[in-house]
A and B are shown apart, each in its own frame.
Chain A
């Protein structure tokens, strides 16, 4: 059974949701850690949930990335542990330099909450082996700063190394398929070792029959299985 940790910051607001989803999938309770804690026993998977960790002041995720628990998260990463950052969690991972690039304000300058279609690119990573290459997933986003950006050199590097995990897919003919202006439609990326995944959409919001779809549950299952 995988040891799964969920980290909460003061403004995390999707921690309960991801905990519920994990409990549903695994039948066990994940371990919870508070941002002020400075020790964390070994975990197989660490999850940074969505929310507004420190009110999104300064820059989303910037303050959280420098909180005490993050030293433990970094160490977990260096040991080759699995990490999933969702939305604000993704922002924290880029601020903590665990993932390249950054998440800027949405191109439309507005918060956007709606379903998007994701295309999976997993040929080169360990964390998504449970999904198929090209698999389409319908999962909602909800963010104000999801506009992924990396400079040309970084972008080339992450492409070469197969680090793009999800792109917003235009297959359903929606001209606004990319909700935030992310460069190359990038919705999620993985670390070079394929074990740290950050993505803007919220898989825990399509994880229960009442959510009108279970694609998020599929994604989470794959991450949990990879880490087990």
Chain B
């Protein structure tokens, strides 16, 4: 059978991002030259975004199994068992390029997209997080981008009614022209009621639900896989506009439909829209699909098959319905005022056949679209080993308190309150710990169980040492979860890198995947979902690599949740995970090095000891179970003293350092050695006994006091009010700065 319309050319293939070799392969596998619609479908399915052609061989090396894993990578989102018959469903995804072009809509549709990935599986989304990277705070575009992205994330999440409870934001000039907007969603489902996308039952109707198809975002998948040039922002591809109300209707109707025993399989239309959803559903079921394009609800007149198949209009789903379910389904769509249409049926042909009227406009075997997608073993060059900068080259004479204030008011550590106050953090009424602490925590509705969640990555470490940096990102996520009292369970990740065709960039990718894999294995937090965003370059300059880690954990009883705020005077503060005599902390590539010593070289980051991480994490859980912890915080960016300052800022008490000599050293105060936590306890003896029994190093560092101050030394006292105004003031000041000033 031949499909109609004009045959495509190698030149058209190139415009769609397919190489000459890839085009030849397509012709060979088809035994003919594809027409334009068919070529469009191939180019989308074979794009980096859908096929992971550069990263696939490395992603396969990641640890993805464990007894908690119900569904690992390969589905719309990962699914893990959290006990009591419940499952957590979660994933992170990027919307980097669209957010640079139109920050509000780009970020909003990013949130909408990741929510669909989660509720497609039958899970009700219960929390959102994000990971953001912007350029230098004083870059002329930064304010516009920060403002737009933040209100876009809020605009969607607040409206649809899912709390945004956490995230991270970093500033770095390498993102000036290429910001990162990664959104993570976490949902809850009954473990035995998970919905997958594999089609089954030839003859079953294929239903389209949700918003009408317009000309928006056509070829977004290939765009997301192409390098950026400065001209691009003036090309202005048709931007997708998010409609959170439509998203809410779609979510509620889909969940109701799935609960009504009507659904064979279901798949959201995300990147590459109808193309990837129909191909994936067919491919996973080993079947085919026939679609009548005349039946697809369109928003604009005269849309051609190519446009209908590649549109990335938001808020749409594809469902294979049980044969007898039509009436039930229709009642649900009517209740929620949703457009829907029967657009085709499942077949056993193994082909995707598209028709308009009686005419076949495309007829493609499914297998080559998926299985033959190229997989490249790209050349890579390991990142040269970064040398540590010795402390004596970094340490300054600045008084401790002054250095602390300067660091807390720097873009690395300043409060992100201006951002998270624009997010509804409380809707659903199950938020236990929200932005501003370590991980966030959500109550599993109607239970005593809690779920902790976090996103983390310190890109300056990754730039210097992709392997160690990625390992550190996992370790930090692990510590953030642990510091809330929860047990880390599983991981999702978003690999944000430059152009993989460059061996140096490919080297970063390989190094990061290896480091991430090693850490997730050692910490028993398998990777169950993720996303890859490559070609994050502008005019040939790559971003600082950011393998963002999203992690979740569980706590059996939310009564044991730990927060970072100091709650009482006369309690004792310990560092868990570091012995008393260590006063030469790791300053190379630290916030201190950047802010106080003005040393911005990509020097060696602190090494991660995964065995110690696991042991120290278990120690925290043990102490917490014994009721010995009244507050805790992991030590990360900025070191022990800034962590302590954050605990003070979160509560209404002060602290007084014990006053040993090493506490005056900048290495002790600001070193970023890994594997450490601050805990506050009312029972220091019991803490010491428990730690010694497990051979966990610890040091007593401070006492909590009623005075709202940080007593660093006799004549080095910082008022909490002053510290707060600097820490809280930085971002609002940046955002209200006069342009051009």
Contact for A210 among B151, B155, B243, B432, CB less than 8 A? B432
Q: How many A-B residue pairs have CB under 8 A?
A: 85
Q: Is B25 an interface residue (CB 8 A)?
A: no
A207 at the interface (CB under 8 A from B): yes
A142, B429: Cβ atoms closer than 8 Å: no
Residue of A nearest to B735 (CB): A110
Instruction: Tell me the complex Cα distance, A10–B249, Å.
Output: 7
Q: Is the CB of B161 within 8 A of A14?
A: yes
Interface-located stretch among B133-141, B419-427, B625-633: B419-427
Q: How far is the CB of A48 from chain B (nearest CB, A)?
A: 15
| Cα separation A17 to B151 with both chains bound (whole Å) | 24
A142 touches B426 (CB 8 A): yes
Tally of contact residues, B, Cβ under 8 A: 31
Q: Is the CB of B245 within 8 A of A52?
A: yes
Task: Give, as a whole number of angstroms, the nearest-CB distance from B714 to chain A.
Answer: 30
Contact of B151 with A57 in the complex, beta carbons under 8 Å: no
Give Cα A130 to B733, complex, Å.
43
> Is the pair B429, A112 in contact by a Cβ cutoff of 8 Å?
no
A17 near B424 (CB under 8 angstroms)?
Answer: no
Rounded to whole angstroms, the CA-CA distance of A50 and B158 in the bound complex is 11
**Any chain A CB within 8 A of the CB of B579?**
no
C-alpha spacing A36/B331, complex, angstroms: 14
Interface string of A108-142 (1 = CB under 8 A from B): 00111110000000000000000000000000101
Interface status of B547 (Cβ within 8 A of chain A) = no
Residue of B nearest to A20 (CB): B429
Chain B contact residues: helix, strand, loop or mixed: mixed
- Which residues of B have CB within 8 Å of A52? 158-159, 161, 244-245, 248
Which among A11, A50, A52, A202 has the highest number of chain B CB atoms within 10 Å? A11
Q: Does A13 contact B (CB under 8 A)?
A: yes
One digit per residue, 1 when the CB lies within 8 angstroms of any chain A CB and 0 when it does not, for chain B 594-631 equals 00000000000000000000000000000000000000
> Which residue on B lies nearest to A209, using beta carbons?
B559
Interface hits, B130-185 → A, CB 8 Å: 151, 154-155, 158-161
* Contact yes or no, B428 A114, CB < 8 A: no
User: Are A210 and B423 also in contact (CB < 8 A) when A51-B161, A52-B159, A55-B244 are?
Assistant: no
In the complex, which residues of chain B have a beta carbon less than 8 angstroms from the beta carbon of A202?
426
B160 and A13 contacting across the interface, CB-CB below 8 Å: yes
B688 on the A face (CB < 8 A): no
Q: Which residues of A contact B155 (CB under 8 A)?
A: 111
Cβ of B336 under 8 Å from chain A: yes
> A140 and B245: CB pair below 8 A?
no
**Which chain A residue has the least Cβ–Cβ distance from B155?**
A111
Bound complex: CA of A72 vs CA of B420, how far in Å? Answer: 38
Docked complex: B406-450 residues within 8 A CB-CB of A = 420-432, 443
- Is A156 at the interface (CB under 8 A from chain B)? no
Query: A191–B425 Cα gap in the complex (Å)?
Result: 31
Knowing A56-B159, A111-B154, A142-B158, the reply to whether A13 touches B248 (Cβ < 8 A) is yes
- From A57, A114, A210, name the one whose CB has the most chain B CB atoms within 10 angstroms: A210
Pairwise interchain contact A10-B337, C-beta atoms closer than 8 A: yes
Query: Counting CB contacts under 8 A, is B558 at the interface?
Result: yes
Report yes or no: B248 in contact with A11, Cβ–Cβ below 8 A.
Answer: yes
A113: B residues at CB distance < 8 A: 158, 420-426
* Interface residue A225 (Cβ < 8 Å from any Cβ of B): no
A11 & B443 in contact (Cβ 8 Å cutoff): no
- Which chain A residues border B432 with CB–CB below 8 Å? 210
**A54 interface residue, CB < 8 Å from B?**
yes
Q: What residues of A have a CB within 8 angstroms of the CB of B429 in the complex?
A: 16-17, 20-21, 204-205, 207-208, 211
Q: Which B residues are closer than 8 A to A by beta carbons? A: 151, 154-155, 158-161, 243-246, 248-249, 335-337, 420-432, 443, 558
Given A13-B160, A142-B158, A142-B425, 6 more A-B residue pairs with CB atoms under 8 Å apart are: A13-B428, A52-B245, A112-B422, A113-B423, A142-B424, A204-B429
22 pairs, CB–CB < 8 Å, chain A vs chain B: A11-B161, A13-B161, A13-B427, A14-B427, A17-B428, A17-B429, A20-B429, A34-B335, A36-B335, A55-B245, A56-B159, A110-B421, A110-B422, A111-B422, A112-B421, A113-B422, A142-B158, A144-B158, A210-B430, A210-B432, A210-B443, A211-B426
The 3 closest A-B pairs by CB, nearest first: A13-B161, A55-B245, A17-B429
Instruction: State the A residues within 8 Å of B (CB).
Output: 10-11, 13-14, 16-17, 20-21, 34, 36, 50-52, 54-57, 110-114, 140, 142, 144, 202, 204-205, 207-208, 210-211
